[in-house]
Amino acid sequence: MEANEIKGLKLLGDMFSRSLTVRGGIIDGTTQVENVLTDIIAWCFIPTFEKLDEEVDNQLTEKGIALKSLILRKLEFEDKINALEDTVRITNEEIWNANKKLVKEIGKELHKIQKFRNLLAHSPLDTSKEYRNNLTTNINSPSDLRNCPLQIIVYKKGEARKQNLDENKVIDEIERIRVTWYKLLQLFALLKNDSKDAKACETLASIDSKARSKILKHYGLNK
């Protein structure tokens, strides 16, 4: 095997490691968001206003947990997103009327989160010789590796399309997940008539992230 081929395979391995970190962060964050969404739906059907735990997102009774584990966790993420508006409206029409904009905004953002999660979950890293040769030609230092975009294969409408995984897009999606998580917690608190927690979550959701550079570094995307 030629030296360039060995270098290309090694660099591809490095990109695999970077891809695992990037995908893992998005998928983990999406899992946390979906979990709170599931908790809200379960609580709406089996509500309790008893303070079961200090955490606003851990407020299900035993029957609520049973509903979540036996039925709701078997539903697709999209099904739960689509059910959110009607579930809130039927559970508490007053909360729905007062916070319709918030609920609709959460649903819109959840669909975007789901779409990007699915893109990462179902699009393999490009391992073609062309991509390996590109890595070999353009990467000569760790900084070059960080600047080189991940390239994935997107299968759509009977075609396989190569697509660069834009670093800024990844960071924007991480921020979307963070904000939506807090907004879900805000909605949960409103449903439970906990205005103090609702206000705190609203404030946290509205704060601009000041850690973009740290996030970039953590996910190996810093330039």
Domain residues of the chain, as ranges?
Answer: 3-218
pTM: 0.85
**What confidence tens digit (pLDDT) does each residue in 33-54 have?**
999 999 999 999 999 887 656 5
Extract long-range pairs of 61-64: CB within 8 Å, 24+ residues apart.
Answer: 64/39
3-state secondary structure of 75: coil
**What confidence tens digit (pLDDT) does each residue in 38-95 have?**
999 999 999 988 765 656 556 788 899 999 999 998 999 999 999 999 999 999 999 9
- DSSP per residue, 114-170: HHHHHHHHH-PBP--HHHHHHHHHH-SSHHHHHHSPEEEEEEETTEEEEEEE-HHHH
Nearest alpha-carbon partner for 45 in 82, 83, 78, 79: 83
Give the DSSP H/E element, type plus range, for residue 107: helix 100-122
Assess contact for 104 and 88: CB atoms under 8 A: no
